[in-house]
Amino acid sequence: MRALLQLLVVAALSGCGAGLALPTEQDAERARVHYPDASLDGLLEGRSAYVAKCSGCHRLIAPAALDAAGWRGMVDDMRDRSHLTPDQEAAILRYLVVMSERAQIRT
């Protein structure tokens, strides 16, 4: 049991399985093309809101799994069931779209 726990902690701390992309200042700069008021803090808030509002009911979907149009449809569909305020909805959508675009650029 102790060995399993150690394995779990080491794997976690080494970043193995780190699933949810963290935005950087570069992402914020790129985001300002579409969202002039975008900031790194805003993207981080969107990530936090995505975790807080969505992970309670299902596993989080990687931003790269959908493109911008896909995420708009998804967030629009889940808005009421996740009890999102308009600010939370906007922050989550912005985070997902920007990080999806980052994945698109890399591929």
Partner 1 sequence: MKTSLPALLVLLPAIASANQRHYAYTYETATLPMGAAEIEPWTTVRLMREDYYVRFDHRLEFEVGLLDNFQAAFYLNWQEVSSLSTDDKGTSSIVGSSAFKGISLELKGKLLDPQADPIGLGLYFEIGGLTNELEIEAKVLLDKHFGDFGVALNAVYEAEFEAEVESGTDTELELHAHEIQVDLGFAYFISPRWSVALELVSRTELAKNEADEFETEYSILSLGPTVGYAGERFWITASILPQLAALAGATGDSLHHLEDKERLELRLLMGFEI
Q: Is 3 in the site for partner 1 (CB under 8 A)?
A: no
Q: Is 83 in the site for partner 1 (CB under 8 A)?
A: yes
Name the H helices within 1-107. 2-13, 25-31, 40-54, 68-78, 86-106
Q: Is 69 in the site for partner 1 (CB under 8 A)?
A: yes
How many residues of this chain bind partner 1 (CB under 8 A)?
A: 44
Cβ–Cβ < 8 Å for 44, 23 = yes
Cβ–Cβ < 8 Å for 57, 45 = no
Q: Is 40 in the site for partner 1 (CB under 8 A)?
A: no
Sole binder of partner 1 in the list 12, 26, 29, 87 (CB under 8 A): 12
Cβ proximity to partner 1, 36 vs 56, nearer residue: 56
